[in-house]
Amino acid sequence: MSTTPDTGLTRRSLLRRSALGAGVIAAAPVLERTALGAATGTTVPGEMLAYARVRPRTLKQALALAEFDDTHRLLADGTMELLLWPGDATRLRKLGVDFEITQPYRGPDLRAGARLAGLAPQPGERTDYRRYADYVTDLQKLATDHPKRSRMFEFPETTLEGRKVYGIEIADDISTAVSDGRPTFWVDGAHHAREWPSSEYTMMFAFDLLASYGKDKRVTALLKKIRVVVVPIVNVDGFVHSREASPVYNPVLNNNLAFEVAGLESGWRKNKRSFTDALYAAGGSSSRLNADAHGTDPNRNYPFFWGGEGGGGDPTSQTYGGAEPFSEPEARNIAGGMKARQVTAYLTNHTSGQLCMRPWGYTTDPSPDNAFQEDLGEQMCEHHGYTNQIGLSLYPTAGTSRDWSYGALRTIVYTFEHNQAFHPPYAENIPSTYAINRPAWLLLAEAAADPRNHGVVTGTVRTASGAPAAGALVTLTKSFKSPVAEDVLARRDGSVAETITTTAKTDSRGRFTVHANPSTRPTTIQDRRGKEFWTVKIGKTSRKVFLDRGTKADLGTLRL
């Protein structure tokens, strides 16, 4: 049986996109095609970064724009905003896209700014953005200050530049958090390097949970039911590249000294992958970096629908998805961490645009859980006022962590696009944005904890003599192939073999309760290929178990 997405489904999606796009494009004002800087009279020395309004007139143009650097901002007249990199203006002209330069990109606004009057201090709040070392120090401090409820951990793979990637796991009794069968809520930030607020909010959430335990009944009850994994920086190399070269704009000289001296660092989006390495050019992997590192977009490197529309195939594209699925350590770290746990809900944070996005990013055909996710998204949006939509409503994407986690794990997943800039003034934006997001994040965490939203496997394990088998290992596994884009499969078998393996242990009475995601993946449902099952192993005993949302499977008494 084919593991690719249904051909008819993909073709239907293209037709629907074409119809939707034609309706929008027909109403568009025609923008003057202009050389970089010409529209506003500004000068962009050396063709530095600049913001531009663009309006595609055809479906081909609209799809091509998915490889550009989109700020996620839609303007009142229906045009969209791009951040143009050197050479992008020429590319737009060759595509025949109408565009207008609005202003040069001036990097982070590092002014102190005016904090929202009357807002209480937020957990983990600072006066400016953290640097990589600050995140490491804060994670260490939280783990040291709260040893019973938090555990700092290091991902197995270092970055291409040799840096370590850290996260923190939070639960009311962390000593059993990995082995007691509780569901997991996973929160991460900075898949994209310059999206500093996304890392701040994840870090503040960790501070909040640990400070609120025992004081806030809602948080205390939540942490007794689930574990929370917080990963502030996914793309550490890119983040350091962006954060450490923060430009300071001089309004008197009308320039940006850091850009002129050191390049385009603060606007860096991708990781630091180099493409002059012979091994990489041949399709292999390498850690050698060169000064010309164009980078790979870690959020286009996951297997699900990898290589499709919105996952650039050109290394100079801002959405370049890599030489192959999971070619980058960032994607391998996140996917590996999630497959070692039952992540029943996932929130991946980005900037900018004030959006709450759910699957899918590659088709308008609704996912099997679309009605549920749309309703939950609406509840969250009541708190922060973001726009509730599917990912494709923004632009086509392929190989994202959002679609992969749903397509492979069937987790409840959302992408939050925060703020209206990649790194706005800290004091006047970050604390207040966290405050309006907190109740939405807790709603999603509670959805992760609610057994009506996932499956539960129970049972009792006894020894050969009939005594309770305390501490017996219970393993849930499932192997499958994640489909990549059809045009990739036409050239080679690019499906990616994956295995989920999660464990729990029995209690002193030999009992176990394991919360797990539904066993059947969304594409299997859509392609009508029947049920998929978890394999539950305890000693030499192995059982196949079908789980859906709200399903309970009692395996009874099992013998070691």
Say if 81 falls within a structural domain. yes
Tell me the pTM: 0.88
Q: What is the pLDDT of residues 156-177, one digit of tens each?
A: 999 999 999 999 999 999 976 5
Residues 225 and 343 in one domain: yes
Distance, in Å, from the CA atom of 294 to the CA atom of 299, rounded to the nearest integer, reads 15
Task: Give domain status of residue 326, yes or no.
Answer: no
Asked if pLDDT for residue 311 goes beyond 50, the answer is yes
Residue 177 is predicted with a pLDDT of 57
Q: What is the CATH number of the domain that holds 49?
A: 3.30.70
Mean pLDDT computed over 291-314 = 84
Which range, of 97-111, 425-439, 528-542, 545-559, averages the lowest pLDDT?
97-111
Asked whether residue 283 carries a pLDDT value surpassing 70, the answer given is no
Mean pLDDT of 3-28: 34
Per the structure block, which two tokens stand in for 324?
């192959």
Band (pLDDT 50/70/90 cuts) for residue 143 is very high
Q: Lowest mean pLDDT: which of 44-58, 310-324, 442-456, 509-523?
A: 44-58
Whether residue 247 is contained in a domain is answered as: no
For 175, what's the count of Cα atoms within 13 Å in the CB-facing half-sphere? 2
pLDDT band for position 180 (50/70/90)? confident
Res. 388 pLDDT band, cuts 50 70 90 = very high
Confidence of residue 367 (pLDDT cuts 50, 70, 90): very high
At 437 the three-state DSSP class reads helix
Average pLDDT over residues 297-315: 90
Last residue of a domain, one of 67, 88, 104: 104
Query: What mean pLDDT do residues 137-143 have?
Result: 98
220 plus 141 within the same structural domain: yes
Same domain as 442, residue 339: yes
Strand order in the sheet with 541-545: 496-505, 473-482, 534-538, 541-545
Q: Is residue 469 part of a domain?
A: yes
The answer to whether the peptide bond before residue 441 is cis (omega within 30 degrees of 0) is: no
Q: pLDDT value at position 60? A: 84
User: pLDDT above 90 covers what percent of the chain?
Assistant: 63
* 222 shares a domain with 340: yes
- What is the mean pLDDT of the segment spanning 180-185? 94
For the domain that residue 553 is a member of, what is the CATH number? 2.60.40.10
Report the b/e string of 147-174 with b at 16+ CB within 10 A: eebbbbbebeebbbeebebbbbbbbbeb
Q: Is residue 286 part of a domain?
A: no
Q: Is residue 239 part of a domain?
A: no
Residue 250 maps to a domain: no
Whether residues 464 and 448 share a domain: the answer is: no
Q: Please indicate, yes or no, if residue 498 is contained in any of the structural domains.
A: yes
Q: What is the mean pLDDT of the chain?
A: 84
**347, 471: one domain:** no
What are the tokens at 233?
């920086």
Number of domains observed in the structure of the chain: 3
Asked if residue 482 and residue 418 are part of one domain, the reply reads no
What's the pLDDT score for residue 67?
A: 83
Residue at which a domain ends, from 104, 120, 152: 104
Pairing, β 387-390 against β 355-358: parallel
Tell me, what DSSP letter sits at residue 66? G
CATH number, domain containing residue 404 = 3.40.630.10
Supply the range of the domain harboring residue 536: 454-559
Whether omega for the bond prior to residue 13 falls within 30 degrees of 0, making it cis, is no
- Do 446 and 460 lie in one domain? The reply is no
Q: Which of 424, 452, 480 is the last residue of a domain?
A: 452
pLDDT (average), residues 421-438: 94
Contact 534, 547 (CB under 8 A): yes
403 and 445 co-located in one domain? yes
Give yes or no: residues 400 and 477 share one domain: no
pLDDT of residue 404: 98
Looking at the fold, whether 227 and 336 belong to one and the same domain comes out as yes
Instruction: Give, to the nearest 10 degrees, the angle between helix 426-449 and helix 217-225.
Output: 50
User: Does residue 253 carry a pLDDT above 60?
Assistant: no
Q: Are residues 447 and 350 in the same domain?
A: yes
Band (pLDDT 50/70/90 cuts) for residue 541 is very high
The whole-number average pLDDT for the span 52-75 is: 85
